[in-house]
Amino acid sequence: MSTTAHDTPRATPRNTARRPLRSVLVALLGALVPLLAVTVLTAPAATARPREAAAAPTAALTEVTNFGTNPSNLQMYLYVPDSVTAHPAVVVAVHYCTGSGPAMYNGTEWARLADRYGFVVVYPSVTRASKCFDVASPQALKRGGGSDPVGIKSMIDWVTRTYSADTSKIYATGISSGAMMTNVLLGDYPDVFAAGAAFSGVPFGCFATTDGSEWNSACANGTVTHTPQEWGDLVRSAYPGYTGPRPRMQVWHGTEDDVLRYPNFGEEIKQWTNVLGAGQTPAATDSPVSGWTRTRYGATGDRAPVEAISLQGVGHNLYADGMASRALTFFGLDSSGPAPQPQPGACRVTATTNAWSTGLTGSVTLTNTGTTSVNGWQLGFTLPAGQTITNGWGATYAPASGAVTATNAAYNATLAPNGSVTIGYQANHSGNSAAPTAFTFNGTACTVS
């Protein structure tokens, strides 16, 4: 099979995911997708790999066709990093309404994360006029029933065959319509997915219709409610008789969502805690970022059965750069792959604070004193007792107190030899306003000056 790549550079991810879902159908598509193994997205075409490789070019977005059963005529886009690992993990990144696979590639950091950790990203793309995924029809809400989930499963099977992917490390994530499809995929194919992350979605089955409509106003308005058992039964009905393990779920929602309203967040929690037997009482609650409330169910760590993040005062377009990294942590994929690591003694940190009665600002300068560039970093440190971070800049900070990890922003991820980056935070304190005294850089202890 020949392959041709999209040579357009990835754009900087944006903070907005397009408003989704109004099933007003416009004119039919003007032309059918040619029956080629890979369709040229831009000119000039990249050189194809030898046929016997049966794989896509690396470090370029590629469209793959003839990938298998595809009842709803989805398009398949693929990103394979240069650093792809043997038996890689696979992340299926599902776009919002009016979006596309290439838009999801350009507007999120999943491809950059793949470059760092060596996994493969699949970007399904809708061809129907609404550009919304089918999460409503009876066919979509049943394993092997037809429609979009079957086509997406075929994409996964193609990647698994072609790259000998690790079938225990298949993940789904999506925004809006893609978040709803993430719920559907985990319900239809619990034996395929290890975990999912849904940004501004609704529970499995909430959008169900029987009249061919793509839109369910009652669900969108947050008026469809069920008991946890009823929600769980809807998921279990997608694959009757299945008794194996179920994928973990991470859900995100803004309290001011006016498209898929905030009550859907609580209904998703009810559904997946029931499916996973986690109970309704959080095992842990914290605020990793100011204005965020994170609850974990069934366990307290990064890989709890269910993790839910509520964003105070945020609307439907909540997705922002950096959130995919948090989903990756939930998946458990951020500790594997070929990410460069500094050698022992390859970092230096200077930390200061400027305090007032109950608050302080902290400034931290990190220098890579090694001989090779580092692409992607995490700085670990422990705040003195009584200090709690309320906001920060230059990095994301989690948790807000105790042993904190600061993770690079998109613009400062690369540190050349002898390169430095300064980050900072604001914190409350109860008397001790000192700076942290010890730091680790991607797990390596740093010299503190």
Catalytic annotation, residues: 176
Which segments of 181-226 are extended strands (E)?
Answer: 195-199
In residues, how long is the chain?
A: 449
Distance in angstroms (rounded) separating the CA atoms of residues 70 and 32: 14
Task: Please report the DSSP string for 101-142 in residue order.
Answer: HHHHHHHSSHHHHHHHH--EEEEEE--STT-----SSTTTTS
Burial class from Cβ neighbours inside 10 Å (0-12, 13-18, 19+) for residue 99 reads: buried
Measured in whole angstroms, how far is the alpha carbon of residue 246 from the centre of its chain? Answer: 18
Q: From the CB of residue 158, how many other CB atoms can be counted at a distance below 10 Å?
A: 20
Q: Which of 305, 315, 317, 312 is nearest to 275 (CA)?
A: 305
* Amino acid (one-letter) located at 65: T
Q: How far is CA 289 from CA 87, 285, 362, 398, 401, in A?
A: 34, 12, 16, 7, 11
Going by C-beta distance under 8 Å and a sequence separation of 6 or more, which residues neighbour residue 80? Answer: 55, 56, 57, 58, 59, 62, 114, 120, 163
Q: Is 330 helix (H, G, I), strand (E, B) or coil?
A: helix
Parallel, antiparallel or unpaired: strands 170-175 and 195-199: parallel
Q: How far is CA 365 from CA 144, 361, 368, in A?
A: 53, 14, 10
Distance in angstroms (rounded) separating the CA atoms of residues 332 and 19: 30
* Amino acid (one-letter) located at 401: S
Distance in angstroms (rounded) separating the CA atoms of residues 63 and 128: 17
Within 298-354, residue ranges assigned H as helices are 323-331
Within 2-147, residue ranges assigned H as helices are 101-107, 110-117
Axis-axis angle for helices 177-188, 228-237 (nearest 10): 70
Q: Which residue has the tokens 């399904």?
A: 124
